[in-house]
Amino acid sequence: MTYSGDNSAEVALIHKLYKGCRTAVVTGPAALRLHGVATLDWVKKIDLVYRGRNRAKSRGKWRRAAHYRSGLLDDAHVTHRHGLRTTSVVMALFDTYRYHGRLPALISIESALFHIPWLTKAKLLTWAGALPQSPGVRGFRELIGYAAETSQSPLESWGRDSLLQASIPGLAKVEGQAEFRYTVGGEEKAGRIDLLLNEIVALELDGRIKTDGRYGEWAQVTAKERAREIGLMQSGKWVLRAGWDDVKSGRLVRMVSDCLKTLGCTGPGLHWAHEPAHIPGCRSPRSGHDATRAGAVGGARFEPCQRPG
């Protein structure tokens, strides 16, 4: 699994796999990596497509580690990144959705929305609406509507999605990158919580990004994270930590479910329509914030929860 930071190794591999191609265009996850967008898995193969309405080469003529795709590719969706012909961001996302599945597409959609400064959900939906009619376009648009614009990493995207899809009893609100303030040595600091559940459970999703050296030495990072965790608890939050294995195995869902039971949170939990909808009257008893900020659908409602003693 990867992150949207340094993609030089994958770019080098894509160049190697593309070498000798004269007219084909890179699409799917490989194209997204060229655009600097995160993908669920490391790119080991490339998807290739030709301009115009073309049928893919017969499988016996495929290049090594390449998958040729059929379909319509308009010149407007062809650009260049890292010296290679590649599809536009929206076409690469759509091809990821229809050829690689929902979760890989969701992770890349949320990465693009967070990491590409000029990209908004409204723009992405507009571009998706202008794609040629083909199987999967409707589901792709619905997935864009469902996606969050706050996920900083693939792990956050997968973790959020696993909780929302599980319809966990008592889970009435999920907020990404929620702000909070805490004090260390008399100095006030500001931080963000990966996922804030029901305004009381702080879920921290720890991927390899925090220990790969870019934020400083491991010991320093650990000390900062510990101070941050103490600050969260002092502000009245319960803290849960999870990693890749917890999300992939389904253990994260059980952890959150057990925590909400302990806190006395009850109710039907969130469930999701294809696109976010408004629910009147779904509010927090503490702040009055409308739960639809997190996309809740179907009348899920806060129940009284205990707070840390």
Do the domain assignments include residue 307? no
Instruction: Give the pLDDT score at 68.
Output: 86
Name the domain boundary from 102, 130, 149.
149
Q: Please tell me whether residues 134 and 182 are part of one structural domain.
A: no
93 and 199 together in one domain:
no
pLDDT at 304: 39
Looking at the structure, do residues 142 and 59 belong to the same domain, yes or no?
yes
For residues 188 and 114, membership in a common domain is answered with no
Query: Residue 290: which domain range?
Result: 155-294
Question: Whose structure tokens read 């669920």?
Answer: 40
The answer as to whether 144 is a domain residue is: yes
pLDDT (0 to 100) of residue 5 = 56
Evaluate whether residue 305 is within a structural domain: no
Residue 130 lies in a domain: yes
Q: Which pLDDT tens digits describe the chain residue by residue (309 residues)?
A: 444 456 889 999 999 998 888 888 999 999 999 999 999 999 999 999 988 776 656 565 666 788 888 878 888 999 999 999 999 999 999 999 999 999 999 999 999 999 999 999 999 999 999 988 888 999 999 999 999 999 999 999 999 999 999 999 999 999 999 988 877 777 787 888 899 999 999 999 986 544 444 434 434 446 667 777 777 877 788 889 999 999 999 999 999 999 999 988 877 766 554 333 332 222 233 333 333 333 333 333 344 354 444
Q: Examine the domain organization and report whether 135 and 254 are in the same domain.
A: no
Q: Same domain for 93 and 217?
A: no
Q: Is residue 180 part of a domain?
A: yes
Last residue within a domain, chosen from 149, 184, 199: 149
C-alpha 70/C-alpha 202 separation (Å) is: 45
144 and 193 in a single domain? The answer is: no
Q: Are residues 207 and 288 in the same domain?
A: yes
The domain boundary residue, chosen from 97, 120, 149: 149
Q: Are residues 134 and 14 in the same domain?
A: yes
Residues 118, 166 share a domain: no
Q: Is residue 304 in some structural domain? A: no
Same domain, yes or no: 128 and 164 = no
- Rounded Cα distance between 29 and 197, Å, is 31
Q: List, in order, residues 6 or more apart from 25 with CB less than 8 Å away.
A: 48, 49, 50, 51, 73, 78, 85, 86, 87
Helix (H) or strand (E) holding 11: helix 8-18
In whole angstroms, how large is the CA radius of gyration of the chain?
Answer: 21
161, 141, 172: which is closest to 252 by C-alpha?
161
Give CA–CA dist 78/56, Å, rounded: 17
Do the domain assignments include residue 26? yes
Q: Give the count of domains, the chain.
A: 2
pLDDT score recorded for residue 292: 32
**So what's the pLDDT on residue 155?**
95
Does residue 230 lie in a domain region? yes
* pLDDT for the residue numbered 107: 97
Bridge partners, residue 204, by sequence: 241
What pLDDT score does 60 carry? 53
pLDDT the model gives residue 47: 94
Residues 43 and 164 in one domain: no
